[in-house]
Chains A and B, each alone.
Chain A
Amino acid sequence: MSVTATIRIQAGDFDAAQEIAALTGDRTDIGAVVTFSGICRGSENGEPIAALTLEHYPGMAEAEIGRHADEALSRWPLQGLTIIHRFGRIAPGENIVLVVTASPHRQAAFEAAEFLMDYLKTNAPFWKREESEKGASWIEARDHDDAAAARWTKS
């Protein structure tokens, strides 16, 4: 059975529960669903922020996420996969990103979701700009995100 990932890059919000339901439907062969939601924090480095604005590279964002989705599908026995990444202005408390993985057993679903998030952080062409009382500035990439992605590289 071939599994096709659902990938959406959108400005609007998403509903995690609705996405899980869409993935599982009436199926009875799925034993585990892992959901990761990335949410906009109200502070960055201890400073309150008003909002994030996410810029993305249309076309490449879909292609890059698609490549990682294909890799996840080839490395783990997944029965379903949904990835949604928002762009535009996002206020604290709002959703940014969603990864849903479904598999017969939990380990594959956990690992695939973590793999995908680690790669989305470092390889998907999105850039966060934060707005605060001090003005707007681009958030800098973190070394520990690169290290998290590197541990999935096959030696």
Chain B
Amino acid sequence: MRVKYFAWVRERVGVAEETVEPPADVRTVADLIGWLSSRGETYAHAFEKPKVIRAAIDQAHVKPDAVISGAREIAFFPPMTGG
């Protein structure tokens, strides 16, 4: 699946998007955050406060307990500050 990062999450991870293949036991958005955090210091820094991180699956907002199977694109970003 494709993972995208925005704003300071993107800066901390160091890439804007990438393709990842998490193991089968990574079922939810929260699981994916945990798995990504284990991939290295940049990820651990980006996701150090998981409660702050917002997520979208296929361009729609989701909660941390959303199931990721079947997702084409998952995005992680800070709370939005548009308008």
Q: How far is the CA of A63 from the CA of B79 in the complex (A)?
A: 17
For residue B81, which residues in chain A have a CB less than 8 angstroms away from its CB?
121, 126-128, 138-141
With an 8 Å Cβ cutoff, the count of chain A residues facing the other chain is: 28
Q: How far is the CA of A129 from the CA of B60 in the complex (A)?
A: 23
With an 8 Å Cβ cutoff, the count of chain B residues facing the other chain is: 16
A126-B56 CB under 8 A given contacts A60-B75, A64-B61, A138-B8: no
**Which of A56, A60, A120, A138 is packed against the most chain B CB atoms within 10 Å?**
A60
Question: Which residues 68-83 in B have Cβ within 8 Å of A in the complex?
Answer: 75, 77-83
Whether the Cβ atoms of A63 and B83 lie closer than 8 Å is: no
Question: Which residues 120-140 in A have Cβ within 8 Å of B in the complex?
Answer: 120-129, 138-140
Nearest Cβ on chain B to A54's Cβ, whole angstroms: 7
Assess whether B19 is interfacial by the CB under 8 Å rule.
no
A125-B78 CB under 8 A given contacts A57-B4, A60-B59, A138-B8: no
Given contacts A127-B81, A140-B79, 10 further A-B contacts (CB under 8 A): A38-B83, A64-B61, A120-B82, A124-B82, A124-B83, A126-B83, A127-B77, A127-B82, A141-B78, A141-B81
The chain A residues found within 8 Å of chain B, CB to CB, are 38, 54-57, 59-60, 63-64, 67, 85, 96-97, 117, 120-129, 138-141
What are 27 A-B contacts defined by CB distance under 8 Å? A38-B83, A55-B7, A56-B82, A57-B4, A57-B6, A57-B75, A60-B56, A60-B59, A63-B60, A64-B60, A64-B61, A67-B60, A96-B83, A97-B82, A120-B82, A121-B81, A122-B79, A125-B6, A125-B56, A126-B81, A127-B7, A127-B80, A138-B78, A138-B81, A139-B81, A141-B80, A141-B81
